[in-house]
Amino acid sequence: MDPRIRKLADVLVQYSVALARGDVVVIKAPPIASPLVAELYRAVLEAGAHPHVRMGPNELAEIMLKYGSDEQLEFISPLSMYEADSIDVSIGMWGEVNTKALTNTDSEKHAKFSAARRPIVDRLMERFSRGEFRWTGTLFPTNASAQDAGMSLGEYEDFVFGAGFLDQPNPVAIWKQIEQKQQQVVELLDGRKTLHLEAANGTDLTMLVEGRKWINCSGKLNFPDGEVFTSPIKDSVNGTIAFSFPAVHMGNECEGVKLRFENGRAIEATAEKGEDFLNKMIDQDEGACFVGEFAIGCNYNIQQYTRNTLFDEKIGGTVHLALGMALPEAGGLNKSGLHWDMVCDLRPGGRITVDGDVVHEDGKFTTVQL
């Protein structure tokens, strides 16, 4: 077994979710990730917590979207709601056998299925905001993801584990250092009122962030990590943003996405590829057309686009915007079954201005060294 897998399991348990004795922990994963599941199971037991594994084939989502009736798509299992009310920690992982398996499924069914999950997501977010629930998510490298990234499996494993500093003797110490550095960014942005985003691709977007918190993401909610984010005031987003890379959601890839906002609402959404899917997702519920998150990528150990949002949204020198569900810990109020991150690259010539001060230019902060 790759020793980095055991190291990842230990970092997730000891650092990301900081398991305590007696915690009830759900581990969610596809079968291909079983080596990491086994190591997590061991690590959870060693922490004195209680693991429960939920493992299902990737194909189940495709089967549901192809054969599920509207009633089945919209059904919320009482078992799922009980889990959302009862568990202390969720550790999830992604590991695809075929990243394009859902590409040809019905986009309207996608929207219904996604919107129906909203009560579960809302419950978990409420408990998270009260400190009753912790979660983290990571990726198990597979050939499918390696192909998306244009790499061999060995190269992709090096990329994935390197992004989390798992090839270093003490990754937790590195992530604690990252947290300290990113805290300087949080201190720079907290208490500001207005934010203006510009990019060489025609992006010109304004929003209000007054009264909202900036959150330091340093390997606890996602692993790997490396970003700071907030949730802008719902009706304050105005202007246009063009995304530099394809936006991937539920196996569907939308290229050349461009959004135009007016008083917070995305009133126009176009794409060179996947425009129908894009608009179906935005129309799935009332909150899906609003911005739930604005974030700045701070992981300069990640420099290339890989068609996997877990890594792409962290690329140092980029920003990402998420349509849909806001993050309550940042003060966001928007609710939706959607949370779709899309990335805009500022390295070729971009700028972030807050309250008239240029704080980020050409992919780097002007006063903070990361």
Rounded Cα distance, 337 and 324, in Å:
7
pLDDT at 28: 97
Write down the pLDDT at residue 129: 87
Alpha carbon distance 202, 283 (integer Å): 25
CA 350 from chain centre, in angstroms, equals 22
The CATH number given to whatever domain includes residue 149 is 3.40.1830.10
Q: Is residue 178 part of a domain?
A: yes
Q: Could you give the CA distance from residue 295 to residue 215 in angstroms, rounded to a whole number?
A: 9
Last residue in a domain, options 163, 193, 217:
163
What end-to-end distance do the CA atoms of the chain give, in Å? Answer: 33
> Cα separation of 158 and 222, whole Å?
18
Strands (E), the chain: 24-29, 50-55, 89-94, 134-139, 194-199, 204-208, 215-217, 227-230, 238-242, 247-249, 252-254, 258-262, 265-270, 291-297, 318-324, 339-345, 350-354, 357-361, 364-365
- Regarding whether 207 and 94 lie in a shared domain, the answer is no
Instruction: Region of 355 please: left (phi>0), alpha (psi -120 to 50) or beta.
Output: left
The partner residues of 238 in beta bridges, in order of sequence, read 206
**Residues contacting 104, CB < 8 A, separation 6+:** none
- Supply the range of the domain harboring residue 119: 3-163
Domain boundary among 106, 133, 163: 163
Q: Is residue 169 part of a domain?
A: no
Output the pLDDT for position 328: 87
Residue among 253, 250, 251 at smallest CA distance from 273: 253
pLDDT (tens place) for every residue of the chain, 370 residues total: 899 999 999 999 999 999 999 999 999 999 999 999 999 999 999 999 999 999 999 999 999 999 999 999 999 999 999 999 999 999 999 999 999 899 888 989 988 998 898 899 999 989 998 999 999 999 999 999 999 999 999 999 999 999 999 999 999 999 999 999 999 999 999 999 999 999 999 999 999 999 999 999 999 989 999 999 999 999 999 999 999 999 999 888 999 999 999 999 999 999 999 999 999 999 999 999 999 999 999 999 999 999 999 999 999 999 999 999 998 889 999 999 899 999 999 999 999 999 999 999 999 999 999 8
pLDDT at 136: 97
Instruction: Tell me how many domains the chain contains.
Output: 2
